[in-house]
Amino acid sequence: IVILSVFVCFHIFLSVRDIKSKQYDSLTDRFVTFPNNILYFDLNGMCGYILYHAATSLLPQPELTEEETIRIQDYLDAYPRYADNIYSVNENKNLILIIVESLNSWVIGKSFCGEEITSCLNRIINDSNSITAVHVLPQVKDGRSSDGQFMFNTGLLPLKSGAVATRYDDVDYYSIAKALKRRNYTAVNMTVDGNNYWNQAEISVAYGYDQNIDRLGGGTTVTDSVLMERAIEKIKVQKTPFFYQLITGTSHKPYNEPYRKTKLSGATEFPEEVRNYMEVIHYTDRCIGAFVDSLRSNGLYDNTVIAIASDHNQLLSPCGVPGYNDTEAAFIVANAGVKYTHTSVMGQIDIYPTLLDVMNCNDYAWKGLGYSILRTPVGSAAGWNGTVYGNEGDSLASRQIEAWDISEKIITKGYFSIK
């Protein structure tokens, strides 16, 4: 008992230290937010690891009350009802979803010292067959990158405390992969990180992927260029139709030095951290550009929809340069079968239903908790704390706030399992 007490006291000391240093917002967050068991052990020690798993294994799983079930169903029934597929041009097209690490939308369309930051994304946006949204509210919480992936794949919002990927990785979620697999698509997930990071191995199964490829067979994290090169190698011989999710990582913080120095490093009106950030985003953009060019040269582009989404934004050093805004993310679709620019605010939660719309999957039972921006005039989005961004008077705002509570109950109280 004495030894255990010493361990607990020491763990409390570490927790208070980490909260004061702002690594975590609360004691709860420190215990429930972790990308994998190995890192959780490293951060919290053996005592914390054992206590966490002992406590969570003993806690009874909450169940929905009859009133909660009715509330969820009433909420879902109030969504717009449509099952028609208005973009038949995309019927049986391949889908590639590229999730870009820490992509702030302000860099798109910007040039400094004669160098475009995102020349590839700029070309896509200027194409007559693309969807563009550069005022996307990042709605990730403790799970950060994994929360972005969760929203894009399932149409649900993340937990307000803890990461879905590590706490609820065994739920049989509805997903974009499962919607497409009804039409004989093969679904493949490829990531630059290891399978144990944010529980990619487990959560990719929950999302319905047939294959999950981490680190591309290597022993360390690979670069975005290697990811794109290996993806093309597989896609060239992949039976169609297919759905590939590519998760980049080179543009992850910190930005202590330029990844590959270009003219952008001469933009001295920005702090050094911001210049380095521009350089690494420039690199990732070039990797995406080379990937798209390879799809063209291999005769795959015309029959493939390419969606590009930021997993979340990245806060950087303060800067007073006009046009600089690090609170918005991006969503871009190439070869979409329609030209559409969403000029107002939307949420990350709106990406899932928009992709269902683009891919002619509107007959799928689960439309998610967002709205297709091709159908609904979305002008706002809600954060986890109830703050509304964009048009606060938007007719959707109250439902967008409520969606957080609805999503939490669906995830944590077994709504899908009882359906």
When pLDDT is averaged across residues 68-79 and rounded to a whole number, the result is 95
The residue type at 281: I
pLDDT in tens, 172-198: 999 999 999 999 999 999 998 877 777
Of 77-91, 114-128, 344-358, the one with minimum mean pLDDT is 77-91
Q: What is the pLDDT of residue 370?
A: 97
Structure tokens at 240: 């169609």
Of 16-20, 162-166, 325-329, the one with minimum mean pLDDT is 16-20
Of 17-21, 93-97, 174-178, 325-329, the one with minimum mean pLDDT is 17-21
- Which superfamily does 84-418 belong to? Alkaline Phosphatase, subunit A (3.40.720.10)
* Confidence band for 361, pLDDT divided at 50, 70 and 90: very high
Q: What is the pLDDT of residue 324?
A: 79
When pLDDT is averaged across residues 201-213 and rounded to a whole number, the result is 92
Of 36-40, 64-68, 231-235, 239-243, the one with minimum mean pLDDT is 36-40
- Percentage of the chain exceeding pLDDT 90: 68
Global pTM reads 0.87
* Confidence band for 23, pLDDT divided at 50, 70 and 90: very low
Of 13-22, 120-129, 246-255, 270-279, the one with minimum mean pLDDT is 13-22
Average pLDDT, the chain: 86
CA 299 to chain centre: 29
Q: Where in the chain is the domain with CATH 3.40.720.10?
A: 84-418
